[in-house]
Amino acid sequence: MIDLHTHTLLSDGILIPSELARRAEENGYTVLGITDHIDFSNFESIISSTLKVAESINKSMKIQVIPGAEITHVHPVKIPQLVSLARKAGAKLVIVHGETVVEPVLKGTNRAALEAGVDILAHPGILTEEDAKLAAEKKIPLEISARHGHCLSNGHIVRLWYKYGFPIVLNTDTHSPENLIDDNFARTLIISAGIQEPDVKRVLDNTSAIVERLLK
């Protein structure tokens, strides 16, 4: 299991990073992206802490932790700047909290994230055809989500994936232990989102490709 979107008590999760990693490892995870929420007020401290704990975990556990961050509720015009700052601060994985149907994310966030070249656009439920085309052109992965609420738009994302062919990945957006899943349930979620059985491997391969690129 590879999961590139999770949270700890460094933002709004309930587990310290080491416990999240251990529970994920016990659940069969091989790679875990820790992507706590950031804006301009906290990106330096969050990324610094995540880098330190990832280094420690990667030396002591079998699981591989990728230190990242999720840009959340930042005004679209400011997203490119924060993407750059987060990468300079050392985040290996930068995602943006997309325009979900269950939170008041500003319109234009999806487009700004794509134009900024993020690694993943998370749960972009209110996705336009134009932004789907841009994601395909820029080969930016869009996320279908296992998280309650965000998952309501998975079918919409999958429909546009079949039409435009942007990379698509499944993540959990874990905030608590019960949000972690295993490989079998991941496959079930992918299929339930509307992806045909022969295409499940394509989704899993997309996630593996992101990891290979990030760990180069």
Structure confidence at residue 216 as a pLDDT band (50, 70, 90): confident
pTM of the model: 0.97
Sorted by where each begins, the domain ranges of the chain are 2-214
pLDDT-derived band of residue 215, with 50, 70 and 90 as boundaries?
Answer: confident
Q: What is the pLDDT of residue 158?
A: 98
CATH class name, domain 2-214: alpha beta
pLDDT tens readout for residues 59-108: 999 999 999 999 999 999 999 999 999 999 999 999 999 999 999 999 99
CA distance 94 to 107: 20
| CA gap 90, 73 in Å, rounded | 21
Q: 194-206: per-residue pLDDT in tens?
A: 999 999 999 999 9
pLDDT of amino acid 114? 98
